[in-house]
Amino acid sequence: MELRSFVTDRFTLQSGVTPERLSLAYATHGTLNEAGDNCVLLPTYYTGTHDSYAPLIGPDRALDPARYFIVIPNILGNGVSSAPSRMADYSDASIADNVRLQHALLTALGVRRIQLVQGWSMGAMQGFAWAAMYPAMVARLLAVCGTARCWPLNQVFLEGVKSALTAAASPAAGKRAFGRAYAGWAYSAAFYRDALYRDQGHATLEAFLAWWEEDHLGWDANDLLAMLWTWQHADLGFEQLSRITAKTVVMPCDTDMYFNIDEARQEAAAIPQAEFHPLHSPYGHCAGAPGRFAAESAKIEETARLLLGS
């Protein structure tokens, strides 16, 4: 795996702004075939990078680099691609902006057909947009614990963590508050009621919350806000979803607190070839995190394998 950058100074954002320079950092696994049609695309998610999907990739896995050319683009704002921490004139980028830039990258790489777009959370948001914006290019879509738009409850959740981040007296205090506030939404009531955080090595609830605080300290606060803006402005509607021709599996978690299963079901119903296969898990939104929980990860991988074999 090699990290590379696709750099352009001619890309105009949905807002009408043309930044002086945009850099899309990406990693690849495997080799593109002569037909340019063995690509698998894994768009990154909030606080994820190109390394985050590593648990899904390997020999004899559903995503086998001996068979597929796997491309993992870092979402704009995450500090690996262009972000406030990397450029003074950073402008907010939409989900559609990310997808258009990724399309330019894949075109430059020689990709003609994507066998599968798979993503968790904001990665799923980008996946829906890919399949709606470039239907002839996307053969299959696996959207895990993510919706095509940011629904109202999701907006309220994000306003809460954004306020925690921005109201604190210092960036470090803001990131600690952000992590602590976020933890309450990431898992389910059953996760906390049954103290499942102990299985992750945290002896007490307070220890678990402190770990969530620490986990966000390495991020730049303005990068977190930039990605949050992208998330909040996801707005793909039912009419756009109806344009999707990809064979699609929509896989929410039944206990996800903000990518709600009922809203995911409504979106799946708007997609002509969609199947609805929810995860049943106490791990809430985090049930879909790549490689984090064994049973959930096994179901996601088996679904990807079946989808690619269809």
User: Could you tell me which residues come within 8 angstroms of residue 8 by beta carbon, excluding any fewer than 6 positions away?
Assistant: 21, 22, 24, 101, 104
280-298 pLDDT per residue, tens: 999 999 999 999 999 999 9
Instruction: Give phi and psi for 16, each to the nearest 5.
Output: 100, -10
Query: Looking at per-residue confidence, does 1 or 282 come out higher?
Result: 282
The pLDDT assigned to 2 comes to 77
Distance, in Å, from the CA atom of 83 to the CA atom of 90, rounded to the nearest integer, reads: 6
Distance, in Å, from the CA atom of 23 to the CA atom of 83, rounded to the nearest integer, reads: 9
Distance, in Å, from the CA atom of 23 to the CA atom of 47, rounded to the nearest integer, reads: 18
Q: Tokens representing 3?
A: 């990290």
CA dihedral 279, 141, 223, 79 (to 10 degrees): 120
Judge whether residue 20 has pLDDT over 90. Answer: no
Instruction: Give residue 10's pLDDT band: very low, low, confident or very high (50, 70, 90).
Output: confident
Q: What is the model's pTM? A: 0.97
Distance, in Å, from the CA atom of 119 to the CA atom of 135, rounded to the nearest integer, reads: 17
Per the document, the length of the chain is: 310
Distance, in Å, from the CA atom of 126 to the CA atom of 24, rounded to the nearest integer, reads: 15
214-225 pLDDT per residue, tens: 999 999 999 999
Rounded to the nearest integer, the mean pLDDT of the chain is 97
Nearest to 210 by CA among 190, 180, 184: 180
Burial (Cβ within 10 Å: 0-12, 13-18, ≥19) of residue 134: middle
Mean pLDDT confidence for 4-18 = 94
Distance, in Å, from the CA atom of 134 to the CA atom of 245, rounded to the nearest integer, reads: 9
Judge whether residue 187 has pLDDT over 80. Answer: yes
Instruction: Give residue 27's pLDDT band: very low, low, confident or very high (50, 70, 90).
Output: very high
**Which H or E run includes 120?**
strand 114-120
- The DSSP secondary-structure symbol of 52 reads G
String of DSSP letters for 273-306: TEEE--B--TTGGGGGSTTTSHHHHHHHHHHHHH
Mean pLDDT confidence for 178-201 = 97
| Other beta carbons within 10 Å of 88 | 6
Instruction: Give residue 232's pLDDT band: very low, low, confident or very high (50, 70, 90).
Output: very high
